[in-house]
Amino acid sequence: MRRIGAAVAAFVLAGGTLGMAAGTAGAAPAEGSRAAAAAACPTGWGSGVKGGLSQGADHLQDIRTGQHECFDRMVFDVPGGGDRIGYHVQYVDRFHAGPSGEYIPVAGGAILDVRVGAWSYDLEAGVPTYPGEAGEPLPGVNVSGYTTFRDTRFGSTFEGETQVGLGVRARLPFRVFQLDDRVVVDVAHSWTS
């Protein structure tokens, strides 16, 4: 009988301790702590090729960037594109403008070749819809001070696609997704958070 009482007491104590541990594990870390940031950042994006490019009938109007707590973001605005804008994004050893194959240096520890299914030139009107010039930084985009982004270079616009070289700090995980009339490229600040 004494053993059963001791076992019950041990079980109650263990249950109380487990309850406290579970309560502590579920508690939110202090604001601004490294654990809070790690828990809030997405993981699992990977660094492999993403997308399926289709020739664009619509025109690229703008490329813009932004900084977030867990990643740096590049947005390609294609009004009228809806959610059918094709894209193809992959890491490359060297950035070459298509179709000429001209080598364009891009600063950073790694380079993403970003291709979006939209023209940056209106062939019918004979005017650019986005003022990018081959080999030059993207107009109006300044990535100095970004955690992950290091450089941007315009590649080309050809057969319904626009190409951009995005220099990043290292080969880091990224994701690409479409929203209405835009394609979004997010590159994580690290592999673990």
Q: What does the alpha-carbon distance between residue 48 and residue 43 come to, in Å, rounded to a whole number?
A: 14
Residues 6+ apart with CB under 8 A from 186: 45, 68, 71, 72, 73, 174, 175, 176
* The predicted structure's pLDDT at residue 81: 85
CA–CA–CA angle 32, 33, 39 (5° rounding): 100
The end-to-end CA distance of the chain, in Å, is 53
Determine if residue 46 is left, alpha or beta; phi over 0 gives left, psi from -120 to 50 gives alpha, anything else beta.
left
Question: Contact, 111 vs 165, CB < 8 A?
Answer: yes
For the stretch 90-144, pLDDT in tens is 999 999 998 899 999 999 999 999 999 999 999 889 999 999 999 999 999 999 9
Q: What does the alpha-carbon distance between residue 87 and residue 183 come to, in Å, rounded to a whole number?
A: 8
DSSP string, 16-77: HHHHHHHHHHHSPPPTT-HHHHHHHS-----SS-EEE----SSB--EEEEEE-SSEEEEEEE
Q: Return the closest-CA partner of residue 168 out of 184, 185, 183.
A: 185
Structure tokens at 114: 């970003």
Question: What is the mean pLDDT of each successive set of 10 residues along the chain, which is 193 residues long?
Answer: 43 37 34 48 90 76 97 96 88 95 97 95 92 96 97 94 97 93 96 80
Q: What does the alpha-carbon distance between residue 95 and residue 138 come to, in Å, rounded to a whole number?
A: 15
* The predicted structure's pLDDT at residue 55: 60
